[in-house]
A and B are shown apart, each in its own frame.
Chain A
């Protein structure tokens, strides 16, 4: 018998607004002026915020910090396709996602300052804390989407991972479940080219990461991740399909990590500066800004006002972050169980005794009040 083709791949890439400003009008999604300006604002503000956060870290006023610079479109745009009650699970490099979901960034700073009080998101949102051991959240996101399907809420789950994480078994299992149970889930691979020092070419040998979708009966698409318009179109369509019961999507958004992995990393050890420069020319913010200018939606004066407003906002967030009193050491015993069992009650009392032993009873009085649910 001659060999015959039983399945074939047709991996598509979505680009609407090219780096050189060329626009494919036919693919342009319906987007209001307010939405376009909001996307631009979010991207501009989170970039400025990251720059200041890195400075804070360098001054010893913040812990290790993962900036998102270069990835503003893949982070700030998808959340705008969702309702607050939809689930969102970003990665640790998710500052833009949380910001677009309305997180108060003083809490983001607090988290990266090593303070557990920083994991606070808007009350009405279904936002979850990322998993630092990467990928573990992907199957959980499938479960979140599964629950929405079972409850018939029409809700969806959006989750992120990087090109590095796409190598982990977690993605395989998550896509297997999502495809099998036709779950309303959107898996967004933020392919930023680098997993710390390991390039994308060193992960799966496949031509694209989008094509992984075909292995699981999941819709797959590659997207220019620095094109905010393409990211918007791809995500909103994936969300629409999910809400209609048409199942999950895997979007590979190609973007670039312009900065170090984190402030603890030095990318110059392993990366060619020419590659970084080439990606700078594809910047997502400048690209959208040129588009807005061409449509008469943006000018220098607006830019100046946004920069001013942003500076004031960042100053305020930093001041509020630094005004948090140090956490009470006893806080760590809060929230570990619905009702703290005997050993935690005993151990908390033991820590209290040790604190008094070290600093005297005065030391205990000087602490911030303990927070959180205990026992």
Chain B
């Protein structure tokens, strides 16, 4: 879509999320927000700042401290016709609600033979590198991507965060919506004032290049762009693909890029074993083998738990590590 410059201004990512929630609450009476500290306090990252005051405690609800209650409750609300946007305060608190997600959230449409659906959005901050305490820096996307029946989205720019969140709230199926907390305040971009959508299931070409595709999502897109810049200084032409929606995946965009460059490196924060990067690697190998000039490489966290923050810089791939993987792939 085209937007006139006059109608946009610079926002950071958390402001963009806040604006999307504000618009959704204003536009549709069925929309409500629920979670821990989302009301009076405006969320621990201030994603819901001002909304409790504006829309009241029936629509911006401070829940008791209970993740199963939040997610199970939101499923009930959605089944009965509301449009809940539930917040789980930190990625590390999501596993508590996985029973609701794995056994129910994604299955209710098919278990009711299509008579019911669960149009809810489950928001959570994502990823590391903010010097946070234990269990506050996790990247649990693979658990959700592995679960059929739900969509998994993660933005890397304020523009996309707003447009994707509005699209997620509209979506007739459950959407898990991750927000890279490292970018909440660090990422700034021009964001239109009004309502717009960024279609789910569409990747974004963040940088064009010819020799290798760096594939990332969330905060790692920024790292990939920095690595691409580093490699540009060495005369290499690197493409960066921001997946934006992890599932359903934009397979055409992924294959088109890899078929063009012939080389793929997937960068992410989670452990490589059983990761979403592993799925991408399998898909590329299955469907674009003859275009490949080197094996697909994954650069992720190590196959250990996220260490406490003094060592997180050595766990989450940085631009040097991504560039190193790209160099090895280019030299294959």
Query: Is the beta-carbon distance between B273 and A270 smaller than 8 angstroms?
Result: no
> In this complex, what residue of A is CB-closest to B315?
A332
**Segment of A9-17, A112-120, A148-156, A239-247 in the binding face:** A112-120
**Segment of B36-44, B105-113, B186-194, B199-207 in the binding face:** B36-44
**Segment of B64-72, B77-85, B143-151, B168-176 in the binding face:** B64-72
A165 CB, min distance to chain B CBs, angstroms: 6
Give the most central of A196, A265, A336: most B CB within 10 Å. Answer: A196
Produce 1/0 per residue, A104-117, CB < 8 A to B. Answer: 00000001111110
Known: A115-B308, A196-B37, A332-B302. A132 touches B65 (CB 8 A): no
Interface bin, chain A: 35 or more
> In this complex, what residue of B is CB-closest to A328?
B311
Query: Is the beta-carbon distance between B40 and A133 smaller than 8 angstroms?
Result: no
**A180 at the A/B interface (Cβ < 8 Å)?**
no
Known: A134-B65, A329-B311. A63 touches B304 (CB 8 A): no
| Residues 323-375 (chain A) with a chain B CB within 8 angstroms | 326-327, 329, 331-333, 336, 343-344, 347, 351, 354-355, 357-358
- Give the chain B neighbours of A344 by CB distance below 8 A: 302-304
Query: Is the beta-carbon distance between A133 and B135 smaller than 8 angstroms?
Result: yes
> In this complex, what residue of B is CB-closest to A332?
B307
Q: A91 CA to B131 CA in the complex, in Å?
A: 20
Q: How many residues in B have their beta carbons less than 8 Å from beta carbons of A?
A: 41
A114 CB, min distance to chain B CBs, angstroms: 3
- Give the chain A neighbours of B279 by CB distance below 8 A: none
Q: A113 CA to B134 CA in the complex, in Å?
A: 11
Q: A118 CA to B309 CA in the complex, in Å?
A: 12
**A55 at the A/B interface (Cβ < 8 Å)?**
no
B62 touches which of A133, A202, A343 (Cβ 8 Å): A202
> In this complex, what residue of B is CB-closest to A204?
B64
Query: Is the beta-carbon distance between A114 and B41 smaller than 8 angstroms?
Result: no
**B321 at the A/B interface (Cβ < 8 Å)?**
yes
Query: Is the beta-carbon distance between A197 and B40 smaller than 8 angstroms?
Result: yes
Known: A115-B308, A354-B324. A202 touches B41 (CB 8 A): no
Query: Is the beta-carbon distance between B311 and A327 smaller than 8 angstroms?
Result: yes
Query: Is the beta-carbon distance between A164 and B65 smaller than 8 angstroms?
Result: yes
Query: Is the beta-carbon distance between A197 and B62 smaller than 8 angstroms?
Result: yes
A64 touches which of B65, B93, B133 (Cβ 8 Å): B133
- Give the chain B neighbours of A336 by CB distance below 8 A: 304-305
A38 CB, min distance to chain B CBs, angstroms: 30
Query: Is the beta-carbon distance between A333 and B40 smaller than 8 angstroms?
Result: no
**A85 at the A/B interface (Cβ < 8 Å)?**
no
- Give the chain B neighbours of A351 by CB distance below 8 A: 302, 314
Query: Is the beta-carbon distance between B310 and A113 smaller than 8 angstroms?
Result: yes
5 CB < 8 A contacts A-B: A116-B311, A132-B133, A195-B65, A198-B62, A344-B302
**Using a CB–CB distance below 8 Å, which chain A residues touch chain B?**
63-64, 92, 111-116, 118, 132-134, 136, 164-165, 167-169, 195-198, 202-204, 264-265, 269-270, 326-327, 329, 331-333, 336, 343-344, 347, 351, 354-355, 357-358
Question: Which 3 pairs show the lowest CB-CB distances between chains A and B?
Answer: A114-B309, A197-B41, A164-B65
